[in-house]
Structure 1
Amino acid sequence: MRKSHARTRARLWGAGAASALTVVSGLVAAAPAYALTAATATLPQSGPASGFVNVTLSGMLTGVTSPFAYYTTGTTCGDTYTANAANITATATRVSDDEVRIAVPTTLSLNAGAARKYTICIYASSTAGSAGKAQTTYWVTPIGTLTPNTGPSGGGNVVTFTAPTGSAPFGATNYAIFSTAAAGCPGSYPSGSPITATMNRQTTSQATVTVPAEVVGNPPTAGTVTPPATGYTVCFYSANTGSDNLTAQSTNGGYTVSLSTATLNQTTGAPYTSPPGTPSLTVTSPTAFLTGVTAPAVLFQTTACPALFPSAQTLNTQYNLGRKLSNSKMAITLPQNVLTPAGTFNVCTYSSASTTTGKLLAVANYTPVSVPQVTDIQPAAGSPLGGNLVTISGTNLPTSPGSITATLGGKPLTEITPINANTFTAVTPASTQGRSTLVIETAAGRDMLANGYTFIDSISVTPTTAPNTATTVDLDVKGTGFSSLTFESSRTPLSGPAVYLVDGAYANGNAGGTRGNVNAVSECGEVMVVSDTELVCRVNLTQTLTAADTYKPASVFSQPGTDITVANNSYRLVSATGGFTKGDIGKAVTNLTAPGTTIPAGTTVVDVLDGNTIVMSKAATAAATGGSTYTVGPVAMSATASVNSALTGTFTQADVGKAVTAVAGGSASVSGTPVITSVNSLGTTATLTGGTIGTHGDLTGVTLTPPASVPNGVYNIVVVSDSSINASSPRVSVASSGSTFTVANY
């Protein structure tokens, strides 16, 4: 078995222009002496006895409507048409003034199983004597099969050629080249620089061929990344000099190669930035396109990728070496020419940066775009439950769906909707983080707005209203961070987590062992934590809280006279520890020790200036700085002597539930909080529980007060992580429209 040697390869075939040569699709062959003008080009130049050839005549068919052609084994054609039975006629179809399409007759034959050359003679018509227009050649060749008939771009693999039955084209010396699909095979071994291949003859009808590196796939067309299949014809010759030495071939375009399909981890992104090496990309392929490659080179350019690594780079053509990670993946960095105004770049991957062996392996596209910038978010605050629609403003924002991701405090925003290059909308996540940084990210990069959004620790409640006739109301509270709070079934005053009904703003400052204000009107107790974002509690509308975080037995207060200051003819009454609220407006003001003195009968509270000062409806008739007991609440009613657990006087069934908060006359005193639990049918006796009236003597009056119900008004439900006085940075939910609760006359 003889091994034929490939000629030295070059990247590009030379192109001849002299009249003594015929240039056919980049292959240069010696031109025979024609009687008629030689056609400019014939495609294909060789093939089976079937199909068509397209012949270019350079304007020679002007005025010709029905051209005529025949095939002959001779070498020349007559100047005018003369019929000859030895000639094989063929259908000729005018394409243009410059081109004719001629059928290849099936009656053409091989030369004893080897290739045979035919001359095609072209005339103005089939009429005898019609003018000859041009002539060319076509080789009928043994069309063998290739196994395999596809391979990788850049060659290196081996294919087997098997001639058709009855054909033995291979002799003592043999040469093989790869021709482009459309060209077919020249009848003579081409001069110049054909794509030569190493061939090993196995038998007279079979040979193996090593596919050369110059056999590469075409790059994708503009705007696409999928490379097309590129066809080649394998041509065999008996010599590499001289003429008419074609012996066999594969089907025209019968061997196909494609560049590997390459995918970047992102097709759009940031342009080149300093420091060098940023940003970075990865190139992957479903094929092992880097097999045998140690130092791949990646060229970025705005024009098509050449088959071999170019010898020079320009402003828009620069490269970096890639870092091979596996046979199907590598990492690359952007060269300095990848800038935003340049448009889309072809990312051309080569086996090396060698201008002689660096073959094109794969092509992808990359478009540099400007890095986004975020400037604002509105509204800039919202519920920790999330679900708030926000509008985010900035520059260089992409507008295609799914092109933007964003987080607040590390948690992703949802329902991101691009509006234009400066705006998009999104829905906030749930978070207890408070002030949070907004981060947006696109293929071009990321930007952030530090502390751009605040998750306000607010809550929402259901229901939001209750009639003042209700005793208890169960509230469904939505918020965040509830699972970290431990609510006790029986809470110690001023300690631990609590849920309050607050009139105004909650405060926990120290004021002599109690809270600095008494805006916590009532507590929503019996707390059930359903989840981190939901709890259920029960508010008692029949009870209100004192500054000491205990329930008032009545909605009045009674203080010793030493704590009362009122000037003669003054409408103001001052108590250093009064704890007055707006709920005291309308209540009676009574001097229990000497009813009707100092404070006129029928005096009521018309305004509360602060927790220590009230405005009365009538002016005091005398000054008082102590010595008497005053009560803000229902007018004292008379009663006679009593025992510890009962009162004798005049009562009604409406007095049941009222508390005895003060007595007047004699030496009686109140211990605990005695509450009337029943009144006899005559209304003369009231039974007490929960407290007693001590040594009594003759009473001139008692004050009976209904339970301290929550007054009508609009309140806020507040969740407090630590209700103790001066608690260090307790979590206190912020008042909002969703946290209001209204008590009204319905």
Structure 2
Amino acid sequence: MSRILRRTRTRLVRAGLTTGVVGAALLVAPQAAFAAPSIGPAVVAPGGNASLMDPQVTFAANPAVQLVPPTAAACPAKFSAISAAGPWNATNASRPNANMVGFTVPAVNGPTAGTNGAVRPYLACVYEGTNVAVSSLQGGTSFYLGTPVSATPSSGAGGGGGQVTVSAATPLFTGLSAVSAMFTTGACTTYPTANTPQNMVGTVSKLTAAGLSLTVPSGVVAAGASPAQYSICLYDASTSAAAGALLSVGQYTATLVSVTPSGGSYLNSVGITASSGSAFLSGVTTPAVLLVANGGCPGTWSTAAVNGTPPVVVAGSGVRRLSNTRAAVTVPPLPISNGQPTPYQVCFYANNTTGALLGSSVYTAAIVATPSSVSPAAGPAAGGNTITVVGADFPTDPGRITATLGGAALTNIQSLSDKAFTALAPPHSVENNVALVVSTPAGTRALAGAYSYLNPIRVSPNTAPNTTPAVDVSVLGTGLMGTNFGSGGNAGRVFLVDGLYNGADAGAGVRANGPVAECLNVLVISDEELICTLQLNRRLNAQGGDFFNPMTYTNLLTTDVSTTAGSRVIMSAAGKFNANDAGQPIVQAANANIPVNSIVTAVLSPTKAVISAPATATSGAAFTATIGNSTAVRTFPNALITTAGSVTVSLASGAFTRADVGRQFFATPGVPNGTTIVSMAPGGATATLSAPATLGTAGTLSNVSFSDTTTTLTGSSLLATDVNAVIGANQLGIPAGTVLTAVTPGTSATLSAAATATTAAGGVNLPVNRPVAASLYAAAPVVEGAYNLVVVSNGAPDAMANDPDYYQTDVTSSSTFTVASF
């Protein structure tokens, strides 16, 4: 038997085990199978790295590591040939120092973990070489292979009560109805069923398939001034066949002293406080602090290296005694290992000469997470919307990120990667450019101007044609009952605006960006909803207080217009086109370039517009044209027939055309100014108005006489305005629809059709329609396009500057209203 093998066997005997029972011992307590050697981490993932330490062995310069299944009695005395069932060769075997061997567990074609990554015990055996049946065993110990778990926080003051989140690297808890946990300073044994250990966790809450939450039991305490290392043993507590099986092992440190914050930036000095439930600083006037990165605190003050790494001394002024139970420490910038969070023991001493250790805690130096943007960058004041925070160095373990927007805490923080996380935005008052503050165990960073809280609304429906005189709109928002809505003065209003509403007076009562339409008859349903009626067939004027009136509108373009033969696009050199030009007639003296009866059908920009007919010639030089000029686009001399209270009109002669839809009546008896034609019947015999007529053209011709087969009507009641009057339905002998083509007032009239009977002496009363002269002016609806509906608390001009309580809702995608024919 070799010296190494004898030494290994001796240790096993001292531990109360023999090589014949090592396999059974591994299944119960893998870390206890070898007393002196140790391996870390507690659980190694397939493909993960591990380090085996044995202070009593000087390992070969080029060691080899084999992984042996637990069914083996012990590590074989000689290096073995590998097989699919084991042993398996570890990779990357190295000797960082004489008493340590590092290695990597194969990710494939090697030992495997249990269901969902539950741990299985294996042996890690170190040999002096790779010669099969020749290279001798130098040492070994057991380890768990499976899914590692981490505890957050990973340390806390003794006495329990703290909340800990346990996170697995993979969905370890999938399908398990219950999980149990136990804290122990020894090995994780099989599931304890007979006698519940003191440090068995009362309730373990399953958060996700990879996350648990638990409360540290009261028996988890520090042993004196030094921290106590505990294993968190996780078991399957479901009713499955595997119930009671060990799932994984986490690490937790109980300390006499707790520090806040428990971590910070490795690049900067960080202020922390240290607190204890006991008077650990009693009688101490000038406490001293060492920060130890690679081991435990020395029992007395010493700046000698610990496991090859000198401790960091906190300068005298960096330690302040606040009371018998509390101190403040300025942690200097600290080195970290491989860019990863690095734990340090914060060791308190009675003095910086020969002082005894008073207590310790754990502080982690790390790269502080840095937020760089928030998407979307704005949202509703009510909160509840999902945002994504992008940046760098975010921890991915649950519970390790907290954040605020404008001082309000984000909720439901979910890690996407070390570069992004999502969260629900909290409620906040309306405010632009609030700061995002992200805190992790490594420290806190702020991103100024990261997010804006808006006052949005949602409108439904969100589209309608501009021929409609009334569309009822539901507006969803917040705080609507606090606004006094009305139709003028300082009342609240609902406006349709092209872009962002700006009620500032730009001169002559014109608003800087006023409404194109108003949603009237506001009915507040609740604090979150109102109903209003939007009129789109007529747009507002530049003052926003009345409708645009084409009868009074003129846009004179002096020596400014140019055309191209055959093109409907015309140009304004001085950029004089504006939205009010749309639908208006355009006239050029002598009509050398622009055809007669042309209409501006669209304004594309201040320099470009479209007309209804192609230009007849290319202009050599800019010419003068007039848009609008109070010109009716169509007249009906004594032809319009109306009925009081009805929206249907007809013509005594001629017909309506599709081009008339949207046009407005002005100076027409019985039709309110600005009334538009909403639609027309096939063939144009009748049209529908946006408002009912106020007068009817129906009347009576009293005491008139006629003779059979003649076309002459006599009577003293005939008037000059009866020309073109239309005889209505009757049984008296004049065909319905007959027109009075000529009238001699008080005497006679000529009929368009002969009578079919002769009246008796004294005459008869004939029903008649006396058509009126009508004038149609250019349509002036809200121009088709995308707008925004906005609620303002005060609709008066300059209210934003004059009303300290003024507010308006924000422009968002949900406030968009599209005016379109489809």
Scaled by the length of structure 2, the TM-score of the pair is 0.43
Q: Which has the larger radius of gyration?
A: 1
> Which structure shows the higher helix fraction?
2
| TM-score where L is the length of structure 1 | 0.47
